Structure 1
Amino acid sequence: MKGKTFILALLIIAISWGGNLWFYQSKQLEEPIFLEHFYGGAGVFELYYLTNRGDPARVVSVEFSDGTTLYAESDYYGFPNDNPAYGPDVRSRSTHYLLKKTRFDEQQMRELGVDHEGEATIQFNGGKTITADIGTVESSELSKGNGIFRQQSSSGSSNGRSFRSYTVKEELEIESMSSPFPEVHDDFKMKLYTPSIDSTGTPDGGGPRTYSKELDKGWSEVAGASMKNIDFPIEMERGERIRLTMQEKTDAIRSYSFSIQMEGTTKSGEPFTQNFLVSNDPQFSPEQMELLIERRGSQ
C-alpha cells in the first residue's frame, strides 16, 4: 500500500512539474515585441521592447525605413549585470517578461535626418536580427527659445500625471495649439491653465508647490480646462502663468516624445511659437505587459 502511495505521489509531482513547464513555455515570446513609438524630434529617442525575462540580448542598432542606421549608446551598458532582469536597460519586470529600453544619440539622428514610419530592422548584440513595426520616428532641428516664455517648473508622477509650467514675459495672444500626432491624444487627457481660461480645480495661487500637490489629486481637482473645450485666442498679461497638465490612461501602451506647438502674436505684433514637450517613460505592470502582447504580439 505504501508503495502505491509513493508511486502516486511521484506521479502527481511529475504531472505538476510538467504542467508548470508547459505553462512557462507557453508564456515565452518567440521574439521581442516593440512598442509603437511616436517620436517627433523632441526629447531623447529611446526604443522600448518587451522580451523574455531570461533573455540577455540587447539592441545594438536599428535600420529605419528611410535607409538610415542608428547605433545604441554604448556607455549605457558600462556596468553589465549577469542577471538580465536587473540590467541598466530594464524599465519593468514580471514573472515572465522584461520591458527594456535602448537610448540613441539625438545629434546623430539630426545629422542623418531620420524620417521613419512602420517596420525597422533591429539588430541585437548576439547577432540576431528581426523586423518589427516601431511606429513613427522623425528628427528635427533644435527649436530656439523665443525669450517670451520662462519655464517655471515641470514634474511627473508614477501615476501617469505630468505638467509643464511657464511664465510669459510680455503681453500676448495665443492663437492656436497643434500636435504632429493627434492620434496619440487618445492615450491621455490634457488640461491647459491660464488666468483668463474658464478653469476648474485649484486656482493658480501656489505656483509650482500647488502644481506638485496636484500630481496625486483627482483629475477634476487639477486646475485648467480640457484642451478639447478651449476657445482661441487666449489673452495673457505679462507675468501670468500658463501650464499644460497631462494624465496618461492605464491602457496606453505606446511610447511618445514630441512637442505641441503653440502659436500667437505679442502685443507689439511679433509672431511667436512655443513648444510644450509631451513625453512618457513607459513602466508597465504585468497586466499592461499582457495587453501589449495581445495588441502587438501577432504583428
Structure 2
Amino acid sequence: MKGHFFWVALSLIGISWMANSLYAYSKQLDEPIFLDHYIDMAYQDHLYVRFFYLTNKNDTSVINSMNAGDLSAYPEQSNGFFNNTHQIYNHQDFGRYVLRSVDVEFYNPYGDQLDYETTEMDVVFSDGRVVTTPIGHLMTHPLHLNTRPLEQTSSGSNNHNFSQSYYRALEPLTIHSVEHSFKDDLQDDFFIKMNRPKTPLDSKAAEADFLDSMDQEWNDLPGLNLRNVAFPIQLNEHDRISIHSKFPTNSTKVLNVNIYMKGTTESGKDFTTTSGIFTQPYLEKQDVKAIIKAKTKGDTDE
C-alpha cells in the first residue's frame, strides 16, 4: 500500500512539474518587444541611439545589427561587423522577463546626410533571428552648424524627466514658433513652458534662478504653457527667455526629442535654436504586463 501511495505521489509531482513547465513556456515571449521610442536626432557622420526592449530572461542572444532603409546600425563595440562579443545590459529584472538596452551607431553607406523617418526596424540577433519590429518613431536630419542669435546661457535636467534651458538674445529678433517633431504623438505626454523674465540678464541671478527652479513643482514654475503662448515674441538685444519641458515619470516611452525655436533677426535672417530632453524608462511590473498585452494581444501574470 505504501508503495502504491509513493508512485501516486510521484506521478502527481511529475504532472505538477509538467503543468508548471508548460505554463512557464506559454508565457515566454516569441520575440523581443521594443519600447516605443520617439527619437529626433541630428545626423552628421554618425548617429548614436540607445534602444530598450523586453525579452525572456533566459534569452542569451544579442543584437548584431538594426536596419531601416538606407540606414544600418551596429552595436558600438562591433565596429560595423557581425559578432556577439558585446555585453548584455539588463536594466531591470521582472522574473521571467528583463528590460535590456543596446547602444547602436547608425551608418549611411552612401555618405549622405539623410532626412529619414521610420517606425519599424529589421533587427538581426546573434542566434540568427531577424525580427521586423515597431520601435516608435525615429527621425534623423542633417546637422547644421551656424551662428545663432540666441545664446544658451545654462541648461540642465533632473531625474524627474524635467529639463530646462536659458537663452539670451545677441541681437534684436522675433521668435515665430516653438515646436517639437512629435507634437501629435506626444501631445498628452510632453509639456513645454516658456518664460520671459522682465529683468535684465545677470549671470549670477540667472544661475540662482536656474538652480531654484530645478526643485520647483511644474505648476509652480513661472511661464506659460506653450499652447497658451501668443506668437510672435519680440526680443531686444540682451533680453532673455527660458524653455522648460517635462515628460511624465510613469511613462513607458523613451524620449530623445528636440525643441525648436524658430524666428528671424531684425536684419531678416532666419534662425532655429534647439534644446532637447532625453528620458530613460523605469518600468513597474504592471507596465511590463500592459506592454506585452498591447504588443502581442496576449497577457501575462508576471
CA distance in 2, matches of 1:50, 1:251: 17
CA distance in 1, matches of 2:218, 2:235: 24
- Provide, for residues 156-179 of structure 1, a one-character-per-residue CA deviation record: whole Å limited to 9, x for no partner: 222222222323222322111233
Residue 226 of structure 1 and its aligned partner are, at CA, apart by 0.5
CA distance in 1, matches of 2:78, 2:238: 42
Could you say which structure has the higher helix fraction? Answer: 1
Match of 2:252 in 1: 253
Match of 1:60 in 2: 64
Which secondary structure state, in structure 2, belongs to the residue aligned with residue 41 of structure 1? strand
Task: Say how many residue pairs are matched.
Answer: 285
Which secondary structure state, in structure 2, belongs to the residue aligned with residue 28 of structure 1? coil
Question: Could you say if the C-alpha distance between residues 110 and 279 of structure 1 is closer, same or farther in structure 2, counting changes exceeding 3 Å?
Answer: farther
Which secondary structure state, in structure 1, belongs to the residue aligned with residue 256 of structure 2? strand
Which secondary structure state, in structure 1, belongs to the residue aligned with residue 111 of structure 2? helix
Say whether 1:31 aligns with 2:31: yes
Instruction: For 1:83-102, list aligned pairs within 5 A.
Output: 87=88, 89-102=89-102
Instruction: For 1:201-240, list aligned pairs within 5 A.
Output: 206-240=205-239
CA distance in 2, matches of 1:53, 1:240: 54
**TM-score normalised by structure 2 residue count:** 0.76
2:141 maps to amino acid: S
**Conserved? CA contact 1:37–1:134, under 8 Å:** yes
Say whether 1:50 aligns with 2:49: no
Point out the more displaced range, 282-291 or 107-116. Answer: 107-116
1:32 maps to amino acid: P
Which secondary structure state, in structure 1, belongs to the residue aligned with residue 41 of structure 2? coil
Match of 2:280 in 1: 281
1:73 maps to amino acid: E
Question: Could you say if the C-alpha distance between residues 290 and 192 of structure 1 is closer, same or farther in structure 2, counting changes exceeding 3 Å?
Answer: farther
RMSD (Å), alpha carbons? 3.7
CA distance in 2, matches of 1:257, 1:30: 28
**Conserved? CA contact 2:116–2:141, under 8 Å:** no
CA distance in 1, matches of 2:261, 2:127: 45
1:98 maps to amino acid: V
CA distance in 2, matches of 1:260, 1:115: 18
Residue 272 of structure 1 and its aligned partner are, at CA, apart by 1.7
Say whether 1:190 aligns with 2:192: yes
Among 60, 71, 74, the residue aligned to 1:71:
74
Match of 2:266 in 1: 267
Identity %, equivalent residues: 26
**Conserved? CA contact 2:251–2:281, under 8 Å:** no
**Conserved? CA contact 1:110–1:139, under 8 Å:** no
Q: Which runs of 5+ in 1 are unaligned?
A: 82-86, 197-203
Question: Could you say if the C-alpha distance between residues 110 and 213 of structure 1 is closer, same or farther in structure 2, counting changes exceeding 3 Å?
Answer: farther
Residue 231 of structure 1 and its aligned partner are, at CA, apart by 0.5
CA distance in 1, matches of 2:240, 2:231: 17
Which secondary structure state, in structure 1, belongs to the residue aligned with residue 153 of structure 2? strand
Residue 61 of structure 1 and its aligned partner are, at CA, apart by 0.9
1:194 maps to amino acid: R
Point out the more displaced range, 206-215 or 72-81. Answer: 72-81
Match of 1:155 in 2: 156
Q: Which runs of 5+ in 2 are unaligned?
A: none
CA distance in 2, matches of 1:283, 1:79: 27
CA distance in 2, matches of 1:94, 1:287: 10
1:36 maps to amino acid: D
CA distance in 1, matches of 2:212, 2:219: 14
**Conserved? CA contact 1:116–1:137, under 8 Å:** yes
